[in-house]
């Protein structure tokens, strides 16, 4: 599959979004072949251009934005417009009139005063798919509030189930709610594109960080809804499976992910723990979950006798799922990641280079990543390329 035949080639996306959730969605669509024009404020641009160090420099040694900005804006063009001004609003309306999709993450009603809300733009483009991303959605008692990933992680219960039980609640190491919201938004947009093929009309998509964070509680939410008991922090243990956790070994730690009773028997055999394997208190997963701490205490003395590499080799041979805990440096030196081409080295038109992480989507053998890096502020033109 050649770059110009990517699945979303020909779709035009107008991005009035900043920080992470909206830009992540826009980058994903750009990776899949859509043309994305990112509207930024003159002089300052997207807030994340300054969220460093570290910073990327261009071929001339000038600042080209923080690494954070480059993580979520490749494949786009940048147009600097003061949309608070009538002339800026006119430019955006002109672009919106010919766009397929618009992504925005302003507060509820924030664009209405500029005539750039869905109802206003629908009048000039009935086929426009308008995706709004907010903290709490377009309605409800919290609709007017600003939404921040960190706060949403706390409000959604995600932090209450993350971390060690005896320590304070812990956020996830990346802004996972923003990222998931961006991915969910892209799915909603593609569903709307399909719906437009049938109806001939666009729509307004209402995406909420709080909704998304609640949705991705997954089995933990179901555990509560079925049992009536709020899940608690278990550190690196799993609420529904045991042993499925981190274990200390002679030179560090490994992850052991025993997913069924047969694997548990294999795990015990690899450890030489015949008494544990024969203990009827550990016969089924449900039993093991109920006595996880006692089981852990019995397993630990076996595991500390060998090194990480020794155990990983032995457990792989035994057919027991296990893995290392890598630093990010280790990840990008991992032979599988190298083979799959997850590290991107992109070059701009002026020769400036920036490294990044490729899209995880592969279609017909081609990795769906945009070929150009994140744009210089205001380097694009306020017009679409010809279809």
Predicted model pTM: 0.94
Per the structure, the complete domain to which residue 305 belongs is given by 244-326
Claim to verify: residue 259 and residue 212 sit in the same structural domain: no
Q: CA 35 → CA 58, 118, 185, 353, 367, distances in Å? A: 23, 20, 17, 21, 17
CA angle 151, 168, 175 (to 5 degrees): 35
* Dihedrals phi, psi of 46, to nearest 5 degrees: -55, 135
Claim to verify: residue 202 and residue 114 sit in the same structural domain: yes
Burial of 110 (0-12, 13-18, 19+ CB in 10 A): middle
How many H helices and E strands in the chain?
Answer: 15, 15
Place of tokens 């799915």: 187
Compute the distance between CA of residue 265 and CA of residue 276 in angstroms, rounded to an integer.
9
**Which residues are marked as active site?**
178
For each of the chain's 387 residues, which pLDDT tens digit applies? 444 589 999 999 999 999 999 999 999 999 999 999 999 999 999 999 999 999 999 888 888 999 999 999 999 999 999 988 999 999 999 999 999 999 999 999 999 999 999 999 999 999 999 999 999 999 999 999 999 999 999 999 999 999 999 999 999 999 999 999 999 999 999 999 999 999 999 999 999 999 999 999 999 999 999 999 999 999 999 999 999 999 999 999 999 999 999 999 999 999 999 999 999 999 999 999 999 999 999 999 999 999 999 999 999 999 999 999 999 999 999 999 999 999 999 999 889 899 999 999 999 999 999 999 999 999 999 999 976
Q: What is the CATH number of the domain that holds 193?
A: 3.40.50.10540
Compute the distance between CA of residue 79 and CA of residue 376 in angstroms, rounded to an integer.
9
Claim to verify: residue 180 and residue 83 sit in the same structural domain: yes
Contacts of 359 (CB under 8 A, 6+ apart): 28, 31, 32, 367, 368, 369
Compute the distance between CA of residue 380 and CA of residue 382 in angstroms, rounded to an integer.
7
Pair of tokens at residue 369: 């990543």
Q: What is the DSSP letter of 368?
A: -
Find the length of the chain: 387
Claim to verify: residue 205 and residue 64 sit in the same structural domain: yes
Claim to verify: residue 118 and residue 31 sit in the same structural domain: yes
Compute the distance between CA of residue 209 and CA of residue 135 in angstroms, rounded to an integer.
5
Claim to verify: residue 212 and residue 132 sit in the same structural domain: yes
């Amino acid at each position: 599959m050649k770059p110009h035949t990517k699945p979303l080639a020909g779709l035009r996306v107008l991005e009035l979004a900043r920080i992470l959730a909206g830009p992540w969605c826009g980058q994903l669509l750009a990776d899949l072949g859509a043309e994305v024009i990112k509207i930024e404020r003159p002089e300052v641009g997207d807030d994340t251009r300054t969220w460093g160090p570290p910073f990327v420099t261009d071929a001339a040694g000038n600042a080209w934005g923080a690494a954070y900005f480059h993580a979520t804006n490749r494949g786009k063009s940048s147009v600097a417009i003061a949309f608070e001004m009538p002339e800026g609003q006119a430019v955006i309306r002109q672009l919106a009139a010919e766009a397929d999709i618009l992504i925005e993450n302003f507060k509820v009603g924030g664009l209405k005063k500029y005539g750039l809300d869905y109802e206003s733009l629908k009048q000039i483009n009935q086929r426009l798919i308008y995706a709004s991303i907010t903290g709490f959605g377009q309605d409800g008692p919290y609709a007017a509030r600003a939404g921040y990933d960190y706060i949403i992680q706390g409000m959604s219960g995600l932090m209450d189930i993350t971390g060690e039980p005896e320590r304070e609640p812990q956020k996830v190491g990346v802004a996972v709610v923003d990222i998931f919201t961006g991915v969910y938004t892209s799915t909603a947009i593609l569903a709307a594109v399909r719906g437009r093929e049938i109806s001939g009309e666009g729509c307004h998509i209402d995406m909420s960080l709080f909704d998304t964070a609640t949705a991705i509680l997954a089995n933990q939410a179901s555990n509560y809804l079925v049992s009536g008991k709020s899940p608690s922090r278990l550190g690196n243990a799993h609420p529904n499976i045991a042993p499925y956790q981190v274990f200390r070994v002679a030179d560090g730690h490994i992850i052991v992910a025993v997913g069924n009773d047969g694997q548990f028997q294999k795990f015990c055999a690899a450890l030489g723990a015949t008494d544990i394997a024969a203990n009827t208190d550990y016969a089924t997963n449900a039993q093991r979950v109920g006595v996880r701490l006692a089981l852990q205490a019995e397993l630990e003395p076996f595991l500390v006798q060998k090194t990480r590499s020794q155990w990983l080799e032995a457990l792989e041979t035994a057919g027991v799922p296990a893995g290392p805990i890598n630093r990010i440096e280790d990840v990008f030196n991992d032979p599988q990641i190298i083979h799959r081409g997850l590290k991107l080295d992109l070059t701009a038109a002026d020769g400036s280079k920036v490294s990044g992480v490729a899209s995880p989507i592969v279609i017909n053998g081609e990795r769906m990543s945009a070929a150009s890096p994140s744009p210089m502020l205001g380097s694009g033109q306020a017009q679409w390329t010809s279809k």
